[in-house]
Amino acid sequence: MPSEATVTITVKLFASFRRGRFKEASRDYSAGARIADVIADLGIEPKDIGMIFVDGKHADPDRALRAGEALALFPLLGGG
Amino acid sequence: MVKIIRVNMTDRTVRVEPVPEAWLGLGGRALTSTIVAAEVPPTCHPLGPSNKLVFAPGLLSGTPAANSGRCSAGAKSPLTGGIKESNAGGTASRFLARLGIHALIIEGKPSGEGWFGLRINNNGAVLEEETETIGKGNFAVLEALNRRWGEEIGVITLGPPGEHMMAIANISVKDPDGKLRSFGRGGLGAVMGSKRLKFIAVDDSEGSNVPLVDRKAFLAASQRFAKTLIDHPVSGQGLPTYGTAVLVNILNEIGGLPTRNFTSGQYADHDKISGETMHDTIVARGGEPTHNCSLGCQIQCSQVFPDKDGKYVTSGFEYETIWALGADCCINDLDVIAEADSIMDDLGVDSIETSVMFGVAMEAGVLPFGDGQGVLRLLREEIGKATPLGRILGGGTAAVGRAYGVTRVPVVKGQAIPAYDPRSVKGIGVTYATTTMGADHTAGYAVATNVLNVGGKVDPLKNEGQVELSRNLQIATAAIDSTGLCLFIAFPALDIPDCLASVIDMINARYGIKLTGDDVVALGKKTLKTERAFNLAAGIGPEQDRLPEFFELEKIAPHDVAWDMPTEELQSFWKGFGD
């Protein structure tokens, strides 16, 4: 249940990160939670992280999340 | 002993010549651009007798090196009016290399109405009059030549739009499955059509293994190279699993997926056309999500996409095609897009140019956005049959924009802009504007560093660092394009030092030479400077190194950004090449 001590964000997972997890979910985290905490909470190895976007812009793992933000996590991917 | 095969379509002669000393150390794009710059008058008409169509395998083609199956094709482009190199996977480079063909040059132009086919084998090449396959689509050409010369025959083929010299026409090549890969961009099919050459059949049955001066050193370097391809997550896992379409969701997330003729950076139905959805669909239908386009490819980014009944629809189902028909034309149905891809293979047209053209055609009101059936009909009934409307559409994106008075026309130097919006991926904007090739994403794939965190990080929403990034990538790409290696080795090459080191060791072991990393950079730079000089002489000056005006005037969602790189900064790109 959201309260002053939590932030609600949307978490979006892509490619192999979806396996055993989800595509998109609304999640509550304690206020001040960093992206790295979300990654750990999802059981994703930090070394497997390719790209982190918050609201469509690059973000660092030690950035704290704010209410209403959309966090997108991708493994290392490429193409042409 | 390597040789040059020179086919003169004016007097219908074939000459086999020794390779000039200056060309011996060149392959792929370095060779095609050198030959085009040396032998084609830059102001010639691209469909006239003075243009030349040059095919060249790469420096490592035909060797046991992984991912060495690319072949280059070059000419003056009827689409851009400048120099063009386009490369394809499939079987061509291996077959040509095994026959010792350093380059194949098609020159001149026949008088009269007849068409020709060229047949190459270990004895040389024979030009013959051709009737059976004329007017037929590429798949029918493959079938006919399989019947004529056996299923092992290699084939480079032209479809009907190429026969009609449409600027969207590509040149296609048979792949190991008997399907098609493409020398896609720049209208090279129109050049081949202007010379009335319907196909080039290549029989390598009496060819021999490519000589390796130091076989032991070569194989050792080759193993190190293959390991880097497996070790890097992009080439080792992402691409083989999801193919290039994995980029749909990435570009959509960062607001760089050009949507509805480049009016937004995000597409509401992105999930319906994503690489993840494509993968799941293929698996559910019993297709092949992992697949290679040429022998010896370790990355296997291709796939075989079946219909609901498990029947083959298309293979090599690329991000560019899915983006352009999906997001840019708003066709939210992978099955319709796959059918269009198959038709474009059969017709032999560039799936980027043709699909971006449809986006402009939709803006012009020729058909509604999202009208997938309309696209299929226009492909089959108008472009395929060279009706007057088909010829307008077949002229490409800029031609359609001009015919209908559209101002939102995403082209640079006449060639359609691919699947990354330059307003939110500024590094690729620099590449589009400055490359000699016209708007070409592969020429200097800044997306890797702007978005994918490969080869470092440069913020895609800022101008800082983009010119230098694009320059370094363009130089490296010109070098890789000369080796016959697939450009996707660039992902491990940008992050794992032993990748490029092992490539250089392979080249040295193959030829008994001692190239260094600096030599490879020098080769890339020299190739680009050769191309630039040709373009300047052709009348494509520095003022063409820019993006269309609408990118400056129109901001796109979600980041509300426009293209705002100062002209002097863009113009500094070529200054960084020194002398």
Q: Is the minimum CB–CB distance between A78 and chain B shorter than 8 Å?
A: yes
To 5 degrees, how large is the angle CA A37–CA A42–CA A48?
Answer: 90
A55 pLDDT band, cuts 50/70/90, is: very high
Task: Tell whether B288 and B416 lie within a shared domain.
Answer: yes
Picking from B8, B77, B71, the residue whose alpha carbon sits closest to that of residue B531 is B77
Q: Contacts of residue B459 in chain A, CB cutoff 8 Å?
A: 58
The answer to the question of residue B218 being in a domain is no
At residue A78, the pLDDT reads: 85
Write phi, then psi, for B274 (nearest 5 degrees).
-80, 165
| Beta carbons of B241 and A16 less than 8 Å apart | yes
Average pLDDT over residues B1-6: 95
Instruction: Render pLDDT for B385-424 as a digit per residue (tens, 0 to 9).
Output: 999 999 999 999 999 999 999 999 999 999 999 999 999 9
Q: Contacts of residue B241 in chain A, CB cutoff 8 Å?
A: 15-16
Alpha-carbon distance of B436 to B528, in angstroms, equals 7
The answer to the question of residue B505 being in a domain is no
Q: Which residue has the tokens 């710059």?
A: B37
Read off the CATH number of the domain in which B182 is found.
Answer: 3.60.9.10
The answer to the question of residue B213 being in a domain is no
CATH code, residues A6-75: 3.10.20.30
Which residue among B372, B398, B421 closes a domain?
B421
At residue B184, the pLDDT reads: 97
ipTM of the complex: 0.95
The answer to the question of residue B329 being in a domain is yes
Residue B245 C-beta-side C-alpha neighbours within 13 Å:
34
CB B56 within 8 A of CB B66: no
Strands A6-13 and A70-75: parallel
Q: Contacts of residue B185 in chain A, CB cutoff 8 Å?
A: none
Domain ranges, ordered by start, for chain A: 6-75
Q: What is the mean pLDDT of chain A?
A: 94
| Beta carbons of B453 and A78 less than 8 Å apart | no
Q: Contacts of residue B460 in chain A, CB cutoff 8 Å?
A: 58
At residue B425, the pLDDT reads: 98
Instruction: Render pLDDT for B91-118 as a digit per residue (tens, 0 to 9).
Output: 999 999 999 999 999 999 999 999 999 9
- Closest partner residue to A79 (CB to CB) among B246, B255, B453 is B246
Instruction: Render pLDDT for B47-88 as a digit per residue (tens, 0 to 9).
Output: 999 999 999 999 999 999 999 999 999 999 999 999 999 999
Average pLDDT over residues B488-496: 95
The answer to the question of residue B326 being in a domain is yes
Alpha-carbon distance of B422 to A45, in angstroms, equals 32
Average pLDDT over residues B123-133: 97
Task: Tell whether B132 and B153 lie within a shared domain.
Answer: yes
Q: What is the mean pLDDT of chain B?
A: 97
B221 pLDDT band, cuts 50/70/90, is: very high
| CA–CA min distance A19, chain B (Å) | 11
At residue B27, the pLDDT reads: 98
Read off the CATH number of the domain in which B264 is found.
Answer: 1.10.569.10
Q: Is the minimum CB–CB distance between A24 and chain B shorter than 8 Å?
A: no
Eight-class DSSP state of B211: P
Q: Is the pLDDT confidence value at A3 over 80?
A: no
Paired tokens of B310: 């498990």
At residue B1, the pLDDT reads: 82
Picking from B222, B183, B156, B172, the residue whose alpha carbon sits closest to that of residue B489 is B222
Average pLDDT over residues B341-359: 98
Task: Tell whether B161 and B127 lie within a shared domain.
Answer: yes
At residue A4, the pLDDT reads: 64
Mutate one of B185, B244, B246 to test the A interface: name it (highest A CB count within 10 A): B246
- Closest partner residue to A78 (CB to CB) among B238, B442, B558 is B238
Q: Is the pLDDT confidence value at B127 over 80?
A: yes
Tell me the H-state helices in A1-80.
Answer: 35-41
Residue pairs between chains A and B whose CB atoms are closer than 8 Å? 89
Average pLDDT over residues B331-346: 98
| Beta carbons of A80 and B275 less than 8 Å apart | no
At residue A17, the pLDDT reads: 96
Domain extent at residue B543: 426-495+516-579
Average pLDDT over residues B275-302: 94
| Beta carbons of B452 and A76 less than 8 Å apart | yes
- Among chain B, residues having any CB pair with chain A shorter than 8 Å are 232-235, 237-239, 241-247, 249-250, 253-255, 275-276, 301, 318-320, 441-442, 445, 448, 451-454, 457, 459-461, 487-488, 491, 558-559
B153 pLDDT band, cuts 50/70/90, is: very high
What residues does A72 pair with on adjacent strands? A12, A53
CB B343 within 8 A of CB B379: yes
Predicted TM-score (pTM) of this structure: 0.97
| CA–CA min distance B181, chain A (Å) | 15
Q: Contacts of residue B487 in chain A, CB cutoff 8 Å?
A: 80
Q: Is the pLDDT confidence value at B327 over 60?
A: yes
At residue A2, the pLDDT reads: 52
Q: Is the minimum CB–CB distance between A50 and chain B shorter than 8 Å?
A: yes
- Closest partner residue to A14 (CB to CB) among B237, B249, B453 is B249
At residue A1, the pLDDT reads: 52
What residues does A58 pair with on adjacent strands? A53
The answer to the question of residue B214 being in a domain is no
B123 pLDDT band, cuts 50/70/90, is: very high
